[in-house]
């Protein structure tokens, strides 16, 4: 009997689905469809992402009792569909408090609920605002295979509960359901962490992550299964829904632990855990192997581009829009924004509008027209110089005796913002603003002009990365989809004669590392100067960043792709006189 007990495999499926916050019925339908697919693939256990029923993060919807009640009713409605397998579904649970939970269904019954134990409260997370921490010590026996369950943050703690202790209590398979937000490179780091947990626990670790966009957050999928030695045996696709199926050789766990007494279950740890029996569905005998599921991870620029496309599509569609409009100036930012929008929504759903003035160069309009032709999108030209002159004439008495300055420059983008919003209102188009992180960071944008819009998809994309993404898209196209002249000409807002961005800002190759060091890395001005940057320049850039907080608070949301984005990650007071810790007096 002992040989038969350990000579078994468990077929597991990780259903990385794209949920929508608050769409309980729609999320339920996705779960049911995935359960049906899992049954067709002869799966024993299927896992779904964290809070799959409600979508993640539901934020203050969790303070609405009718929402919580409806979410729990939806959870219970899933039970009949789970006949014939085991399903682990992210959900809400109430038991004298509210919990971020995982429901364990088995053969048509809701048999247990696990409560998340580690609640993140940093960066974009605010779970202590809503949830109580769980305390259960529980494992599940599925046909002789011992399974531990945890939720997202629980597995990031190397020695704490529950996964390490569950393994010590005999668990051979550790399942973690997650909603882990994306930023550049996080998938690689997360996969390495999962592999480390598997090797440290001498257990299979199956990690199921959410996919899709939710406001500013992007979830990349990239679910993964690692073996007891830390090797990757299955990997889900990035930025796509996927069903990741793997056959786990549970016997390998037993053999490894048998050779090392330190890895075996101890009486102390074992007795501290409750074991829930998932009976009535014995594991099947030999069966054809599951189809291979080992996608190749994308490189840094490719994954960012995919994130921006999916984030744009989900923001537009999930908020009930079908078409978008943007100012198409002939510059690199608007060209990349238009390209991403077309890839996300189709050219028939994107309209670009050129709005030249006396300061617009002929080549800018030519480049905008070529960009629109290359993409096959709708294109309008609405000259605004006459409107601009009307503003100047009306303001002339008030401005008498004063020289033109940034005031007159900013009138132009504000006219453009007004016209774009008029088109948005008339046709129901969502207005995309085109500013990048470099501009948003230092306030190099016009409030109620460049910042007008419903979604800023480049908001967390530094200018230097804008160029990399544009070259990447051209490489995918096999030709200059974004005209080469757009990528080569000096960046300019074209609001006065011969204007260039470098008239006001350091070169972006210098500016972006300073912004990264200050915003994402948390360096002080002295620390940044020590990296080799000019002290006066560092001081000037940081003052621009700090003084622009009021602008950022009024800007539309955008997709988070760096480790610290302006928005949920960045919570500085607008009224703020802190200047301590900067350069010695007189240096900045």
In this prediction, residue 261 has a pLDDT band, given cuts at 50, 70 and 90, of: low
In this prediction, residue 283 has a pLDDT band, given cuts at 50, 70 and 90, of: confident
Q: Which two tokens stand for residue 310?
A: 């999916």
Q: 3-class SS at 492?
A: coil
* 437: enclosing H helix or E strand: helix 437-442
Q: Give me the mean pLDDT over the 447-472 stretch.
A: 95
pLDDT at 538: 94
CA 585 to chain centre: 41
pLDDT at 585: 47
Q: How confident is the model over 486-539, as pLDDT tens digits? A: 999 999 888 899 889 899 999 999 999 999 999 999 999 999 999 999 999 999
User: What are 245's strand-pairing partners?
Assistant: 13
Average pLDDT, the chain: 91
Q: Give me the mean pLDDT over the 243-269 stretch.
A: 76
Superfamily of domain 2-278 in CATH is Carbon-nitrogen hydrolase (3.60.110.10)
Its sign, for the CA torsion 305, 306, 307, 309, is positive
Topology of the domain comprising 300-501: Rossmann fold (3.40.50)
Contact 389, 353 (CB under 8 A): no
Q: How confident is the model over 167-201, as pLDDT tens digits? A: 888 899 999 999 999 999 999 999 999 999 999 88
Q: How far apart are CA 281 and CA 275, in angstroms?
A: 17
Contacts of the segment 502-507: beta carbons below 8 A, 24+ positions apart: 504/444, 505/438, 505/442, 505/444, 506/537, 506/541
Buried b (16+ CB within 10 A) or exposed e, 86-99: bbbbbbbbeeeebb
Q: Any idea how long the chain is?
A: 588
Q: How confident is the model over 546-576, as pLDDT tens digits? A: 999 999 999 999 999 999 999 888 888 888 8
**Which residues, at least 6 apart from 42, have a Cβ–Cβ distance to it below 8 Å?**
11, 284, 287
Sequence spans of domains, the chain: 2-278, 300-501
Neighbouring C-beta atoms of residue 409, cutoff 10 Å: 17
pLDDT at 287: 85
**Strand residue runs (E) in 107-172:** 109-115, 138-142, 145-151
Contact 325, 233 (CB under 8 A): no
Q: How far apart are CA 102 and CA 438, in angstroms?
A: 40
Kindly report whether the peptide bond that precedes residue 162 is cis, defined as omega within 30 degrees of 0: yes
Residue 5, pLDDT > 90, answer no
By annotation, the residues acting in catalysis are: 50, 116, 152
In this prediction, residue 162 has a pLDDT band, given cuts at 50, 70 and 90, of: confident
Residue with the bigger pLDDT between 226 and 288: it is 226
Residue 584, pLDDT > 90, answer no
pLDDT at 158: 74
Q: Which two tokens stand for residue 442?
A: 């230092």
Q: How far apart are CA 222 and CA 212, in angstroms?
A: 11
In this prediction, residue 252 has a pLDDT band, given cuts at 50, 70 and 90, of: confident
Q: How far apart are CA 62 and CA 49, in angstroms?
A: 18
pLDDT at 425: 96
């Amino acid at each position: 009997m002992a040989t038969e007990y350990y000579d078994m495999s468990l077929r597991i499926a990780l259903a990385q689905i794209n949920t929508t916050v608050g769409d309980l019925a729609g999320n339920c339908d996705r779960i049911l469809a995935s359960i049906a697919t899992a049954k067709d693939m002869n799966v024993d256990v299927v896992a779904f992402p964290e809070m799959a029923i409600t979508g993640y993060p539901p934020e203050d919807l969790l303070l609405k009792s009718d929402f919580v009640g409806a979410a729990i009713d939806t959870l219970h409605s899933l039970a009949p569909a789970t006949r014939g397998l085991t399903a682990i579904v992210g959900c809400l649970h109430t038991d004298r408090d509210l919990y971020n939970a995982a429901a364990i269904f088995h053969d048509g019954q809701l048999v247990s609920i696990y409560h998340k134990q580690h609640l993140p409260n940093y960066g974009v997370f605010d779970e202590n605002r809503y949830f109580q921490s769980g305390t259960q010590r529980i494992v599940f026996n599925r046909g002789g295979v011992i399974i531990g369950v945890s939720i997202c943050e629980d597995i990031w703690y190397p020695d704490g509960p529950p996964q390490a202790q569950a393994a010590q209590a005999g668990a051979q398979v550790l399942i973690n359901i997650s909603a882990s937000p994306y930023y550049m490179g996080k998938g690689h780091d997360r996969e390495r962490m999962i592999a480390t947990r598997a090797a440290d626990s001498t257990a299979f670790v199956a990690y199921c992550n959410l996919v899709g966009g939710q406001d500013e957050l992007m979830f990349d999928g990239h679910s993964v299964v690692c073996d007891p030695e830390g090797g990757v045996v299955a990997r889900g696709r990035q930025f796509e829904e996927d069903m990741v199926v793997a056959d786990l050789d549970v016997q390998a766990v037993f053999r490894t632990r048998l050779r090392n007494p330190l890895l075996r279950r101890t009486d102390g740890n074992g007795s501290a855990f409750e074991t829930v029996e998932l009976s009535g569905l014995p594991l099947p005998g030999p069966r054809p192997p599951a189809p291979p599921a080992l996608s190749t991870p994308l490189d840094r620029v490719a994954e960012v581009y995919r994130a921006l496309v999916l984030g744009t599509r989900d923001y537009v569609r999930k908020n009930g829009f079908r078409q978008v409009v943007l100012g198409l100036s002939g510059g690199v930012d608007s060209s990349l924004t238009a390209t991403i929008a077309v890839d996300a929504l189709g050219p028939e759903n994107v309209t670009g509008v050129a709005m030249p003035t006396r300061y617009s160069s002929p080549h800018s309009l030519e480049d905008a027209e070529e960009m629109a032709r290359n993409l096959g999108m709708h294109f309008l030209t609405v000259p605004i110089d006459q409107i601009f002159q009307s503003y100047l004439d009306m303001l002339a008495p008030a401005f008498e005796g004063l020289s033109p300055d940034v005031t007159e420059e900013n009138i132009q983008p504000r006219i453009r913002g007004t016209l774009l919003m008029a088109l948005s209102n008339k046709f129901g188009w969502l207005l995309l603003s085109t500013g990048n992180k470099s501009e948003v960071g230092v306030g190099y944008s016009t409030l109620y002009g460049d910042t007008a819009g419903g979604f800023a998809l480049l908001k967390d994309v530094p200018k230097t990365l804008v160029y990399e993404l544009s070259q990447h898209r051209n490489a995918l196209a096999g030709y200059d989809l974004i005209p080469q002249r757009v990528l080569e000409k000096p960046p300019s807002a074209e609001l006065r004669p011969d204007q260039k961005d470098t008239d006001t800002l350091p070169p972006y190759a210098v500016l972006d590392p300073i912004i990264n060091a200050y915003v994402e890395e948390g360096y002080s001005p002295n620390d940044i100067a020590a990296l080799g940057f000019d002290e006066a320049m560092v001081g000037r850039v940081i003052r621009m960043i700090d003084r622009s907080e009021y602008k950022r608070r009024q800007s539309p949301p955008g997709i988070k792709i760096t480790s610290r984005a302006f928005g949920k990650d960045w919570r500085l007071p607008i009224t703020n006189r802190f200047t301590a810790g900067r350069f010695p007096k007189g240096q900045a």
